[in-house]
A and B are shown apart, each in its own frame.
Chain A
Amino acid sequence: DTAVSQTPKYLVTQMGNDKSIKCEQNLGHDTMYWYKQDSKKFLKIMFSYNNKELIINETVPNRFSPKSPDKAHLNLHINSLELGDSAVYFCASSPRITGGEFFGPGTRLTVL
């Protein structure tokens, strides 16, 4: 009965590869997010979607492309991975834009 789930939990890959991280929420929330937490533990928002529409797009390289096939899913595809992309990526959802956010367990991405 996991509320916000992400797969995979760990992802180790070579520079230049393309990879995807999947996120699903079973809370019936309208809004979903992607965050990045770097090695210094700073947590920064990347994207937010409300009912499958992009609401927030921070200054994120074009190599990062979120995709929301339906309200319950927000996947993150990353092209041409770079060393600096190594981080923990968190997916989150909230019932409305000004509500509390529920975070997934995170995906630790390591780019070699």
Chain B
Amino acid sequence: DAKTTQPNSMESNEEEPVHLPCNHSTISGTDYIHWYRQLPSQGPEYVIHGLTSNVNNRMASLAIAEDRKSSTLILHRATLRDAAVYYCILQKKSSGDKLTFGTGTRLAVRP
């Protein structure tokens, strides 16, 4: 299964930007990079995904390294409601396009 490496936990102050890193050195050319988050006692929530170019949506931005071996999820202004586990996932065609969740990064937001 596709392997991504994320820090176990991170902390941020409210209203400051947060950069969540992810390494995926085994990425293939057709693999999509997905980010999801899971708030306590809720189902995972889609955040963003991309292939090669940086992506922006109303929730976050995704910055993808030129060699695609790493990516960074950027929350522009963290709020208390952003406290969650953030998962970086490779969607690999060789695995039938399934998402393989890892352990993610637990983000704590300080008021």
Contact = CB atoms under 8 A, between A and B. Distances in A.
Contacts of B103: 41-42
A100 B97 contact: no
Interface string A98-110: 1011111110000
B49 interface: yes
A53 B8 CA distance: 37
Contacts of A98: 32, 91, 97
Interface in A8-58: 41-45, 48, 55-56, 58
A102 B100 contact: no
B96 interface: yes
B43 interface: yes
B101 A42 contact: yes
A48 B98 contact: yes
B101 A106 contact: no
Contact of B98 (A4, A42, A45): A45
A44 B44 CA distance: 12
A90 B34 contact: no
A97 interface: yes
A66 to B, nearest CB: 14
A90 B43 contact: yes
B interface, size bucket: 20 to 34
Contact of B97 (A44, A97, A102, A106): A97
A interface, size bucket: 20 to 34
B96 to A, nearest CB: 5
A105 B43 contact: yes
A38 B47 CA distance: 22
Contact of A102 (B34, B46, B85, B96): B46
A103 B100 contact: no
30 contacts: A41-B103, A42-B101, A43-B38, A43-B44, A43-B87, A43-B101, A44-B100, A44-B101, A45-B98, A48-B96, A48-B98, A55-B96, A56-B96, A56-B98, A58-B98, A90-B44, A98-B97, A100-B34, A100-B49, A101-B36, A101-B46, A101-B99, A102-B46, A103-B43, A103-B44, A103-B45, A103-B46, A104-B43, A105-B42, A105-B43
